[in-house]
Amino acid sequence: MSNPPKQMRATVKLMMNSVFTKSREQFFLPSNVIYLDGNSLGALPKAVVQRMQQVVGEQWGQDLIRSWNTHAWIELPQRVGAKIARLVGASPDSVIAADSTSLNIYKLLLSTLSMRPGRRIIISDIGNFPTDLYIAQGIVQLLGNQHELILSETSALADTIAAHGEDVAVVMLTQVDYRTGALHDIEHMTRKIHQVGALAIWDLAHSAGIVPLALEAWGVDFAVGCGYKYLCGGPGAPAFAYIHPRYHPDLAQNTLPVALSGWMGHSKPFDFDPYYHPSPDLRQLLVGTPAVLSLSALDTALDVFDGLDMAVVRQESLALTTRFIELMEPIAEQYEFALVTPRDPHQRGSQVSYGSDYGYHIVQALIQAGVVGDFRAPNIMRFGFTPLYISLDDVAEAVARFAAVMQQGAWRDQGLARLAVT
Amino acid sequence: MSNPPKQMRATVKLMMNSVFTKSREQFFLPSNVIYLDGNSLGALPKAVVQRMQQVVGEQWGQDLIRSWNTHAWIELPQRVGAKIARLVGASPDSVIAADSTSLNIYKLLLSTLSMRPGRRIIISDIGNFPTDLYIAQGIVQLLGNQHELILSETSALADTIAAHGEDVAVVMLTQVDYRTGALHDIEHMTRKIHQVGALAIWDLAHSAGIVPLALEAWGVDFAVGCGYKYLCGGPGAPAFAYIHPRYHPDLAQNTLPVALSGWMGHSKPFDFDPYYHPSPDLRQLLVGTPAVLSLSALDTALDVFDGLDMAVVRQESLALTTRFIELMEPIAEQYEFALVTPRDPHQRGSQVSYGSDYGYHIVQALIQAGVVGDFRAPNIMRFGFTPLYISLDDVAEAVARFAAVMQQGAWRDQGLARLAVT
User: Sign of the C-alpha dihedral, residues A110, A114, A120, A125?
Assistant: negative
- Cα nearest neighbour of B62 on chain A: A30
From the list A83, A107, A229, A314, the catalytic residue is A229
Angle of the A46-53 helix axis to the A292-301 helix axis, nearest 10? 150
* Reported confidence tier of residue B422, pLDDT bands at 50, 70, 90: very low
* Reported confidence tier of residue B1, pLDDT bands at 50, 70, 90: very low
Report the pLDDT value the prediction gives residue B412, as an integer from 0 to 100: 80
Residue of A68, A137, A228 lying closest to B275 (CB–CB)? A137
Residues 147-166 of A with CB under 8 A from B: 151
Q: What is the pLDDT of residues A336-387, one digit of tens each?
A: 999 999 999 999 999 999 999 999 999 999 999 999 999 998 899 999 999 9
Report the pLDDT value the prediction gives residue B11, as an integer from 0 to 100: 63
* Reported confidence tier of residue A18, pLDDT bands at 50, 70, 90: confident
Report the pLDDT value the prediction gives residue B8, as an integer from 0 to 100: 61
Residue B323 has pLDDT above 80, yes or no: yes
User: Sign of the C-alpha dihedral, residues A276, A250, A222, A91?
Assistant: negative
Minimal CA separation from B196 to chain A, in Å: 26
Higher pLDDT, B284 or B256: B284
The mean pLDDT of A222-233, rounded to a whole number, is 98
- Cα nearest neighbour of B45 on chain A: A61
Q: What is the ipTM of this complex?
A: 0.94
The mean pLDDT of B106-128, rounded to a whole number, is 97
3-state per-residue secondary structure call for chain A: CCCCCHHHHHHHHHHHHHHHHHHHHCEECCCCCEECCCCCCCCEEHHHHHHHHHHHHHHHHHHHHHHHHHCCHHHHHHHHHHHHHHHHCCCHHHEEECCCHHHHHHHHHHHHHHHCCCCCEEEEECCCCHHHHHHHHHHHHHCCCCCEEEEECHHHHHHHHHHHHHHEEEEEEECECCCCCEECCHHHHHHHHHHCCCEEEEECCCCCCCCCCCCCCCCCCEEEECCCCCCCCCCCCCCEEEECHHHHHHHHCCCCCCCCCCHHHECCHHHCCCCCCECCCHHHHCCCCCCHHHHHHHHHHHHHHCCCCHHHHHHHHHHHHHHHHHHHHHHHHHCCCEECCCCCHHHECCEEEEECCCHHHHHHHHHHCCEECEEECCCEEEEECCCCCCCHHHHHHHHHHHHHHHHHCHHHHHHHHHHHHC
In angstroms, rounded to a whole number, what is the distance separating the alpha carbons of residues B37 and A64? 9
The mean pLDDT of B188-217, rounded to a whole number, is 98
Minimal CA separation from B2 to chain A, in Å: 34
The answer to whether A92 contacts chain B (CB < 8 Å) is no
Report the pLDDT value the prediction gives residue B14, as an integer from 0 to 100: 62
Report the pLDDT value the prediction gives residue B15, as an integer from 0 to 100: 63
The answer to whether A137 contacts chain B (CB < 8 Å) is yes
The mean pLDDT of B231-235, rounded to a whole number, is 98
Return the active site residues of B: 129, 203, 228-229, 382
Give how far Cα A63 sits from Cα of A72, B45, B235, B319, B372, Å: 12, 14, 12, 27, 10
* Reported confidence tier of residue A6, pLDDT bands at 50, 70, 90: low
Minimal CA separation from A227 to chain B, in Å: 11
> Is the overall model pTM greater than 0.90, yes or no?
yes
Residue A16 has pLDDT above 80, yes or no: no
Minimal CA separation from A273 to chain B, in Å: 7
The answer to whether A134 contacts chain B (CB < 8 Å) is yes
Q: What is the pLDDT of residues A255-293, one digit of tens each?
A: 988 989 999 999 999 999 999 999 999 999 999 999 999
Could you count the other beta carbons within 10 Å of the beta carbon of residue A10?
A: 9
Listed in sequence order, the residues at least 6 apart from A294 whose beta carbon sits closer than 8 Å to its beta carbon are A233, A234, A236, A237, A238, B236, B291, B293, B294
Q: What is the pLDDT of residues A294-309, one digit of tens each?
A: 999 999 999 999 999 9
Report the pLDDT value the prediction gives residue B312, as an integer from 0 to 100: 96
**Is B103 in Cβ contact with A262 (below 8 Å)?**
yes
Which residues in chain B have Cβ-Cβ distances shorter than 8 Å to A266?
130, 134
The mean pLDDT of B391-418, rounded to a whole number, is 86
Task: Answer for the pair A254, A226: CB distance below 8 angstroms, yes or no.
Answer: no
In angstroms, rounded to a whole number, what is the distance separating the alpha carbons of residues B347 and B229? 20
Minimal CA separation from A3 to chain B, in Å: 34
Report the pLDDT value the prediction gives residue A422, as an integer from 0 to 100: 36
**Is B103 in Cβ contact with A260 (below 8 Å)?**
yes
Buried b (16+ CB within 10 A) or exposed e, B235-261: bbbbbbbbbbeebbeebeeeebebbbb
Q: How far is CA B357 from the centre of its chain?
A: 27
In angstroms, rounded to a whole number, what is the distance separating the alpha carbons of residues A96 and A36? 28
**Is A133 in Cβ contact with B276 (below 8 Å)?**
yes
The answer to whether B368 contacts chain A (CB < 8 Å) is no
Report the pLDDT value the prediction gives residue A301, as an integer from 0 to 100: 98
The answer to whether B247 contacts chain A (CB < 8 Å) is no
Residues 202-241 of B with CB under 8 A from A: 228, 234-239
Which residues in chain A have Cβ-Cβ distances shorter than 8 Å to B389?
none
In angstroms, rounded to a whole number, what is the distance separating the alpha carbons of residues A179 and A27? 26
What 3-state DSSP class applies to B3?
Answer: coil
The mean pLDDT of A184-207, rounded to a whole number, is 98
* Reported confidence tier of residue A329, pLDDT bands at 50, 70, 90: very high
Residue of B35, B64, B271 lying closest to A41 (CB–CB)? B64
DSSP label at residue B4: P
DSSP label at residue B212: -
Look over chain A and give the mean of its residue pLDDT values, rounded to a whole number: 94
